[in-house]
Structures are given as structure tokens and as C-alpha cells.
Amino acid sequence: MGLMIDGIYHAEDPAPDTTQDGRFQRQKATIRNWITREGPFTPDPGRYHLYAAWNCPWAHRALLIRVLKGLEDTITVAYARPRRTADGWVYDAEGAFADPELGVTALHQVYAKAPAPFTGRITVPLLWDRHTRQPVSNESADIVRMLNDAFPGPDFAPGPLRESIDAWNARIYRDVNNGVYRAGFARTQAAYDVAVAELFDALDEIEAHLADNRYLVGDVFTEADIRLFPTLARFDVAYHYAFKCNIRRLVDYPNLWAYAREIHAMPGVAETVRFDIYKQGYFSPSELRNPLGIVPAGPLIDWSAPHGRGQSAA
């Protein structure tokens, strides 16, 4: 993944992803403006453009809140090509992987338009403001919350539930969303053993919780569910194999598997899911994980099977 230092893009990232003992350590997002009704970034229809990638789970969060809030006509999207190059996330001149907004060929060209010379990883999602001609945010958690709060539509983080939502978000982020990466990018056996154990402890806990609760926060579908779903959608087709998260599959968890299928069946959600692209991305050539870049044919999983959980809440 490329890095920009003082506004200059570097294809070779000099900043290590792992600690000395082999643990994966995710870098923090650094563009964190906020959309509010008071400004300077206000929730105006047609003002914002989202840079995303189908195979990125962090971008998937933003795509989910966009469709669940009914913002498809309010916020446009440019999808990067499934596989990064030396230029990082890149775009075609036209077609499904083009950027109709700025016509860039690489995402780092958008980061270069930040008011101050940008230093950091070139990541998706990135929310762009047409009015001020600058990036607004590259923190997926902030984008989900601000789109929920600033724009009309269903409220997926109601005030009385926010403490519970935030507690679930913290647990899910550390041990599930980022947990699969801590396992997959571990550089030592000890680091992997810790990460994979914590991942499956969390999945076991969620499985037990869903035996008595329809969603993470009781019977209300919330932001916490939105943030969990991208990892579940990629689990069996990518993380189980490519990241060695193979103690169990998602389909081996009766409650979690039904819960994931229910979310997938909610209006608009299936259109944010691309299993074929997930495999292209996660099984792209990697010296450490997949030297030959061979993409597996399977697994064959029926996400359209009835989930048996009653009327969908979204």
C-alpha cells in the first residue's frame, strides 16, 4: 500500500505494518473533518463524492450506510479497480472502474488535493467535497456516523443506544474487523496464535449473543450491525483461506450465518456485495500470502437461502 509524505506519493511504503514481535498494527486515518448542519461541511444533496473499492471492508461500511440511508442519489461513488498497483488504488479512463468526478487515474491524486500536504496511507473510503474541492474524511467509522447523523433517513445510532453501539463497535473492530487482519498479516506464529484465538473468541461470543437477540443491540438494527457485516461477507470466501482464519467458517455458526443472510437480504445490501471481486483482491499476488496469485474457484455458498429470522428490520 502506497504512502504519501508531505504531499509526495511513494510506491514503496517505508512505514512498517508490524511491530518487532510480528503483530500487525493498523495505521490511523488522518483526514477527519465532519459533516454537520452548522458547517463548514454541510449535508447538501449532491455535494459529496465517495471514493471506494468493492473489496475493501472499510469502504463497504460507507457503501452500506449510503444505501441503507437512501443516499444513492445524494452521494456519488467511484470504485477503484479490484487490485492495487504500484500507484495504489487506481482507476480506468472509462467504465465501471473510472472516476467520473475528477477523472483521476490513481487515488493518491485525490489525496494530493488536500489543503495541507498530506502524509499517510492512501486508503479508501475517502469522502470528497465538491464545494471546497478537498477531501473531507478517510476514516470509515467517522463517515458511517456522520452520514447517519447529518442526512435524513433511518437512524442507525439512536441516542439511547449509543453507549451499547459504541461498546460493540470497539469489540468488533479490535477482534473481528481488524482481527482478521491481525491474523492474516501476522509475521510470527505467536502473533498469529493470539490474533486468531481472539477472533474466534469474539465470533463465539457473538454467536451466543444472537441466540437470544435478533441483532447486536437487542431487536434494533444499528450501526454496530453495519460495521460487522463487511467482515462476515468476506469471511468464507477470503479470510478463512487467505488469512488462515480457519478454525471455523461463517456457515458453521447457525446464528451468525442466519443473521448475515438476513442483512444481505435487506433492500440494497446485496448490491454492495461482490464476492468475485473479494477473491480477486484477497488472492492477488503476494510474496507472503499467495506468491502465484492463483484465485480459488470456491467456495460455493448460497447467500440467498432463507434466513428464517422473520420480517427484516431495514
Report pLDDT for 250. 98
Distance (Å, whole) CA 87 – CA 181 = 22
Question: Where residue 23 falls among pLDDT bands split at 50, 70, 90?
Answer: confident
pTM summary value: 0.94
- Note whether 126 and 48 are same-domain residues: yes
Distance (Å, whole) CA 228 – CA 169 = 8
Picking from 150, 181, 206, the residue at the C-terminal end of a domain is 150
Q: At what angle do helices 223-234 and 275-282 cross, to 10 degrees?
A: 70
In a domain, 142, yes or no: yes
Report pLDDT for 21. 76
In a domain, 294, yes or no: no
* Closest listed residue to residue 44, CA positions, set 124, 130, 140: 130
* Closest listed residue to residue 236, CA positions, set 225, 247, 251: 251
Report pLDDT for 12. 77
Structural domain that includes position 244: 161-282
The 3-state DSSP composition of the chain as helix, strand, coil percent (nearest 5) reads 40, 15, 50
- Note whether 168 and 146 are same-domain residues: no
Distance (Å, whole) CA 75 – CA 87 = 25
Q: Model confidence over 175-204: pLDDT tens digits? A: 999 999 999 999 999 999 999 999 999 999
| 103 residue type, one letter | G
Q: What is the CA radius of gyration of the chain?
A: 19
In a domain, 200, yes or no: yes
State the cell numbers at 165: 453501539
* Closest listed residue to residue 119, CA positions, set 246, 245, 29, 191: 29
- Note whether 17 and 134 are same-domain residues: yes
- Note whether 135 and 166 are same-domain residues: no
- Note whether 230 and 173 are same-domain residues: yes
* Closest listed residue to residue 61, CA positions, set 300, 282, 263, 309: 263
In a domain, 105, yes or no: yes
Kindly report the CATH number assigned to the domain that includes residue 258: 1.20.1050.10
Whether residue 217 is predicted with pLDDT greater than 80 in this model: the reply is yes
Report pLDDT for 20. 65
In a domain, 134, yes or no: yes
Whether residue 312 is predicted with pLDDT greater than 70 in this model: the reply is no
Q: For the chain, what is the domain count?
A: 2
Picking from 100, 122, 150, the residue at the C-terminal end of a domain is 150
Distance (Å, whole) CA 104 – CA 110 = 7
Q: Model confidence over 265-309: pLDDT tens digits? A: 999 999 999 999 999 999 999 888 899 999 999 999 999 999 999
- Note whether 124 and 172 are same-domain residues: no
- Note whether 71 and 200 are same-domain residues: no
* Closest listed residue to residue 275, CA positions, set 250, 292, 254, 310: 250
Kindly report the CATH number assigned to the domain that includes residue 39: 3.40.30.10
| 294 residue type, one letter | I
Q: At what angle do helices 223-234 and 57-68 cross, to 10 degrees?
A: 130
Report pLDDT for 196. 98
What positions carry a catalytic annotation?
Answer: 56, 181
Q: Are 111 and 102 in contact (CB under 8 A)?
A: no
Picking from 122, 150, 178, the residue at the C-terminal end of a domain is 150
